[in-house]
Amino acid sequence: MEDKNIDDLLADRVHTLMKKRDWAAARVLLEQRLLKPLRHAQLLFYSIICFRNARSSTMLDKVYQNLAINGQVKTDRNYIVDGLPFIGTEKSNCHRDYLFVSGAPRSGTSSFGRMLNLHDKVAVLIERYMPFFGYHPDMFLEQNIFSPGSENHRHAEDMQELKQKFTNARWIGDKRPNFAFGAAITNQHFAGCELRIFHIQRDMREVCWSYENKVKRSLDEWSYKKACFDYNYNNRALLKSSTNCHRGIKIYVVDYKRLHTDLEYLVTVFEKLDLEIDSALLANLEDYLARSAKVLKIPRELSPDISQYIEKNIDWSTEKALKKFSLV
């Protein structure tokens, strides 16, 4: 039997285990498969999900090393239509200027993305695509973004609003927690393009509180330990990818609190995009800050044990190293 057919069967088996939440058994199968080169997109995708849930940076690194060694992973074009990963090493034409909002989950990527969309020359999608295998310019062709079935996307309402201004927007892109996982692949695909990456850093005590608040109502394995892992892996992956950025790619690290309290800081964001700022935009930004003030007042208390875990497990050196990309 061909390897492809074997991998298809293995993907079905792993998917069944994941649905049963038998993560340990799924990881065993995937670890064994990664002993050999792997180019099966679905198995690679499942590997990233499983090893992220296990907080295994070693195995995640192995998946990405596999991608780097084995080059292009062939996928059907439906992966774009369905919002699943699209992987390819070929350089594509740069259709527009591109913008991504990056950060760990629960770090404020959604509010930042919607704030950027207050400008009529910005069209940032809300989690249109999976981030783990990187992005490709072809993903942002209108026929792929607004393809049949996109109306069923969980952020379909945002997408419909963006559709009205997409054609005339200067900057287009996606806001995606864990964008940095595939940042190195994205940088490769967008060589020669104008690309801006805004990476949010938020107080980890607030992020962990948000994870803990969600754990009871999510099918995912949300926890403060996973919050710390995601934060570290995103920061490390972004820092590593920054060493091989092409001329048109710029990274800005932005501060969560200032994004929700400082009008001058928001203006600087748009200045980095070389966009005009008129009185209507300023008024909308002031409204945004007024709404944000209410959110910031929500009390967020953590137990001493969680606070101690954060202090011991966050990679503070990488966080500090990223400061060289600070917005201001």
List all residues 6 or more positions away from 282 whose beta carbon is below 8 Å from its beta carbon: 263, 267
Q: For helices 23-33 and 41-53, give the axis angle rounded to 10 degrees.
A: 130
Residues 34-49 pLDDT 10s: 998 887 878 888 999 9
With CA atoms as reference, report the closest residue to 105 among 19, 266, 234. Answer: 234
Residues 43-101 pLDDT 10s: 888 999 999 989 999 999 988 888 776 555 544 443 443 444 455 555 567 888 999 99
Percent of the chain with pLDDT over 90: 56
Encoding tokens for residue 89?
A: 């090493």
Report the pLDDT averaged over residues 307-322.
96
- pLDDT grade, residue 106 (50/70/90)? very high
Pairing of strands 249-255, 97-102: unpaired
Asked if residues 196 and 99 have their Cβ atoms less than 8 Å apart, the reply is yes
Question: What was the pLDDT predicted at 79?
Answer: 40
Place of tokens 């595939």: 182
Asked if residues 209 and 302 have their Cβ atoms less than 8 Å apart, the reply is yes
Range name among 2-6, 194-198, 234-238, 251-255 with the lowest pLDDT average? 2-6
Alpha helices (H) in the chain, listed in sequence order? 3-19, 23-33, 41-53, 57-70, 78-81, 109-116, 142-145, 156-163, 183-189, 204-214, 224-242, 256-259, 263-272, 279-296, 304-313, 316-321
E strand or H helix that includes residue 88: none
Which comes out higher in pLDDT, residue 214 or 190?
A: 190
With CA atoms as reference, report the closest residue to 199 among 137, 242, 144. Answer: 242
Long-range own/partner contacts, residues 16-25 (CB < 8 A, 24 or more apart) = 18/46, 18/49, 18/50, 23/50, 23/53, 23/54, 23/221
Report the pLDDT averaged over residues 152-170.
80
